[in-house]
Structure 1
């Protein structure tokens, strides 16, 4: 790599490029009118609240393992919309209902694939939040389940329904700025420490912790909160690359027009700047070395400097104006896609704006339209797309987790041949030093270059990585091995 000197693809084409056989469109059990689709939302303490709002006219039930959250959600819905919803704490009981056509899933990441596959097997169409999986293998099982059972499954990467992004991607892929040289996603988002307990967290009796853990290891927690902070534990989350960054990872891959994993992936980073109960990297650079052009992804959880830790969020780094966004560098200029998904700007090499794409979209509505029509080709974020972008996040984390600690000098020396990656690391090093992080010792982790077979989505050079690449889950919560159609 060196420094610089389509609207969405149709479903069938994307499926073919990913090496999967798409199920033929089928008639939905729901009537052709969207208003007749009966839905339930599973998990709604946080992101699921938007599901409730987006699917409110179709909801007949809510499900959450936290009885307090569940009771409050049902009461709030009745107060706001004047209707009583059925309630469940166990998604398996909910899925036994034949009168529910589709479910939306906004549980913690580690149960996304498990519940989605169970819903598909129960004959439901599915809207599942990002990332759609906890690891690469289980995400592919989710795609296989959708194919085998002919269900309509949408990933919660709502930028795919953004009109401005659809138009910008088509323009760039059509040669609007010449050949793409690289795509760079940034997730510079404030993440203060989550704290650490001396004794295991006491899980309230109102929460079914065994069910909450699902396929993840059932272990004592030493963080002050069960909810949300699971993002920062590899057992249940994927760090900010798999939380916020999955959106930008997806957009970057979309611009590149890639429909598989990259053949090589590499990470540099670590959790730095404080000592807490989290173990995911809060500072990280990942490169997916596609043959067409590299995809670089940068995560920053610390502010611009140590002084900024007195007011988290008010002092974050940016790169070429991007804090949370995607930069696509081309021969003739670059494109910037901020996280609003409402506008995309294109600039020539002199910095003059040459295009300004505008317009958002309705991702929930897109799902309902596809379900009503019984036609998965209408989806803007069909599950294969969600799986691939989620898998890129997981692959980057696998490289990190099988890596070894090294000094900044050792890392710089090992990547000196790669100008673009060296530039990214130099900026990371400057950022960490500004936060008083000593990187002259072995604070950082130099990840292992992963050799990946994009066709089979398997690792070729890491036995330790295989254990992270695939997790079948605990007894009673195992991800099924589904033969691809």
Structure 2
């Protein structure tokens, strides 16, 4: 039986064939990745939400053009086409199967904004196909995939950038530099927060897969599950098969900024507590969480994530 771990491992070593789918992009403007026509031909895979930021960032680069919009859902593609026509003045070629995008030698770089279980496999396959990669955070579904993606980056020699946009923001760069210069003294602690009031996702009902959706391709390397009415297009974030919870959905940004400012790498220890305190639904992660990351030299970071809170009706 092909497990997710075996699938990713085979992909990283090249034994899986391609026939098997406020953003700032400094590295994607590098002259080393220009195509034959002195333009970077880009493909965006997964075009529902974050792709809009990708489109606008690419569109601002005079030497870049989007030649593919790729998504497994026809409804999302149609909406995106209308949005593209209105905002950038043209509609890229549509494709539902990302493998065909990777097979096109005119594509120089791919931008991946799919559900998280596809991030590392798709990025590795793109590198194998000779493409440069921009992959949204988190760059993997689990730590093991991180190592495989780094190995693939080194093997194929293409550029890879993960979507921690704070690293490219001028304001963040200036703030971190001030901290490094000692403007506020010696810094030993970073505090990161995220608060939201997400509602219940309910308890899903098994229904027929919509005709517009390629559910098999959507699941990709993940274990197969029957389609339910509370997964696609967004609530997959809260299921362990496909998502990583709020700590990676949003915490990734805040925690990384603290790591950057403190100049730390991997923690010596991690302590977490929390739970699912709100709704009786299919949500599989904690929805309120406190995490402490302990580093060398007595430095530490805390992340406080309040993803959901019950709405109390007026008395």
**Same fold by TM (over 0.5)?**
yes
Query: For 2:305 and 2:86, how far apart are their aligned partners in 1?
Result: 40
* 1:200 counterpart (194, 197, 206): 206
Counterpart position of 1:118 = 125
Q: Check if 1:246 corresponds to 2:246.
A: no
SS in 2 for 1:296: strand
RMSD: 2.2
Once the 2 structures are TM-superposed, how far is the Cα of residue 71 of structure 1 from its aligned partner? Answer: 3.1
**Paired residues of 1:222 and 1:277 also in contact (CA < 8 A):** no
Counterpart position of 2:3 = none
Query: For 1:280 and 1:100, how far apart are their aligned partners in 2?
Result: 37
Counterpart position of 2:95 = 88
**Paired residues of 1:234 and 1:280 also in contact (CA < 8 A):** yes
Counterpart position of 2:40 = 37
Once the 2 structures are TM-superposed, how far is the Cα of residue 110 of structure 1 from its aligned partner? Answer: 1.1
Query: For 2:86 and 2:291, how far apart are their aligned partners in 1?
Result: 46
Q: Over residues 275-322 of structure 1, what are the superposed CA-to-partner deviations in whole Å (9 max), with x where a residue is unaligned?
A: 11110111111121112311111111234xx5x4449xxxxxxxxxxx
Counterpart position of 2:225 = 219
Q: Check if 1:285 corresponds to 2:264.
A: no
**Paired residues of 2:188 and 2:262 also in contact (CA < 8 A):** no
How many residues get paired?
280
Counterpart position of 2:68 = 61
1:81 to 1:167, Cα distance in 2 relative to 1, 3 A: closer
Query: For 2:142 and 2:203, how far apart are their aligned partners in 1?
Result: 26
Counterpart position of 1:49 = 52
TM-score normalised per structure 1: 0.55
Once the 2 structures are TM-superposed, how far is the Cα of residue 268 of structure 1 from its aligned partner? Answer: 0.6
* 2:216 counterpart (203, 210, 213): 210
SS in 1 for 2:188: strand
**Paired residues of 1:203 and 1:209 also in contact (CA < 8 A):** yes
Counterpart position of 2:148 = 141
**Paired residues of 2:209 and 2:227 also in contact (CA < 8 A):** no
1:62 to 1:285, Cα distance in 2 relative to 1, 3 A: same
**Paired residues of 1:201 and 1:224 also in contact (CA < 8 A):** no
Counterpart position of 2:277 = 272
Query: For 1:188 and 1:206, how far apart are their aligned partners in 2?
Result: 34
Counterpart position of 1:422 = none
1:274 to 1:27, Cα distance in 2 relative to 1, 3 A: closer
Query: For 2:175 and 2:79, how far apart are their aligned partners in 1?
Result: 42
**Paired residues of 2:33 and 2:40 also in contact (CA < 8 A):** no
SS in 2 for 1:48: helix
SS in 1 for 2:127: helix
Query: For 1:79 and 1:273, how far apart are their aligned partners in 2?
Result: 40
TM-score normalised per structure 2: 0.82
Unaligned runs of 5+ in 1: 1-24, 312-485
**Paired residues of 1:272 and 1:283 also in contact (CA < 8 A):** yes
SS in 2 for 1:237: coil
**Paired residues of 1:186 and 1:298 also in contact (CA < 8 A):** yes
**Paired residues of 2:130 and 2:156 also in contact (CA < 8 A):** yes
1:133 to 1:302, Cα distance in 2 relative to 1, 3 A: same
Query: For 2:312 and 2:261, how far apart are their aligned partners in 1?
Result: 34
* 2:189 counterpart (182, 186, 189): 182
Unaligned runs of 5+ in 2: 1-29
1:222 to 1:210, Cα distance in 2 relative to 1, 3 A: closer
Query: For 1:148 and 1:205, how far apart are their aligned partners in 2?
Result: 39
Q: Check if 1:255 corresponds to 2:255.
A: no
Counterpart position of 2:304 = 298
Once the 2 structures are TM-superposed, how far is the Cα of residue 32 of structure 1 from its aligned partner? Answer: 9.5
SS in 1 for 2:233: coil
Once the 2 structures are TM-superposed, how far is the Cα of residue 26 of structure 1 from its aligned partner? Answer: 9.2
Query: For 2:163 and 2:169, how far apart are their aligned partners in 1?
Result: 13
Once the 2 structures are TM-superposed, how far is the Cα of residue 52 of structure 1 from its aligned partner? Answer: 1.9
Counterpart position of 2:78 = 71
SS in 1 for 2:100: helix
Q: Check if 1:173 corresponds to 2:180.
A: yes
**Paired residues of 2:41 and 2:106 also in contact (CA < 8 A):** yes
Once the 2 structures are TM-superposed, how far is the Cα of residue 157 of structure 1 from its aligned partner? Answer: 1.2
